[in-house]
């Protein structure tokens, strides 16, 4: 289980995230964001409790993405599958997501909503993942964004699975920290 609090002059985000059944208790003051996070948790099979307050909608959305990314980063086991990908059809929308939780932050989109495209970018940078989101079809922005969050959840679920081996030709990455 990971518990984080991120606080700035603009926002406060508190999260608890753990592998589980996908239950979610989310309150950001932004109903659509709450809906997307609930879908993400359900599809990722992660138990999520999240509270966020803040001044501007943009700041809350961005800071929630940063905090969720940091929490997911802390859940990645050494022998994680690392890779996940899913395509979700949702009414007129068809969205494909591919992720590598291997520690190389990169994002390629876009989504047809600048706020939620920014959410995906911020999540990728702070989960230190390579994330590709392709909106293949769809005119209803709600459906496209929701399909993206569901596909992301399923891709993260797959990438977090433990496989008994380190999926890298380099082997595991080890860091040492010390003073000079």
pLDDT, tens digit, 9 for 90 and up, residues 99-125: 999 999 999 999 999 999 999 999 999
Structure tokens at 14: 């508190």
Helix (H) or strand (E) holding 32: helix 31-44
CATH number of 2-160: 3.30.230.40
Tell me how far apart the alpha carbons of residues 84 and 90 are, in angstroms, rounded to a whole number: 19
- Our separate counts of H helices and E strands in the chain read 4, 8
| Residue 54, CA distances (Å) to 7, 12, 57, 150 in order | 10, 6, 8, 25
Confidence (pLDDT) at 178: 80
Confidence (pLDDT) at 134: 98
């Amino acid at each position: 289980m990971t518990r984080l609090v991120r606080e700035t002059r603009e926002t406060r985000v508190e999260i608890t995230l753990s592998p589980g059944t996908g239950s979610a208790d989310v309150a950001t003051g932004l109903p659509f964001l709450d809906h997307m996070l609930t879908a993400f948790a359900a599809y990722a099979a992660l138990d999520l409790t999240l509270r966020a307050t803040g001044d501007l909608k943009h700041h809350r959305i961005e800071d929630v993405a940063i905090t969720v990314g940091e929490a997911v980063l802390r859940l990645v086991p050494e022998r994680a599958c690392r890779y996940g990908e899913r395509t979700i059809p949702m009414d007129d929308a068809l969205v494909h997501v591919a992720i590598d939780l291997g520690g190389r932050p990169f994002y390629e989109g876009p989504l047809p909503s600048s706020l939620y495209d920014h959410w995906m970018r911020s999540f990728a940078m702070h989960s230190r993942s390579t994330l590709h989101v392709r909106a293949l079809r769809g005119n209803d922005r709600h459906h496209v964004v929701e399909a993206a969050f569901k596909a992301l959840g399923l891709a993260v679920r797959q990438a977090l699975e433990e496989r008994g081996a380190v999926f890298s030709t380099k082997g595991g990455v080890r860091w040492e920290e010390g003073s000079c």
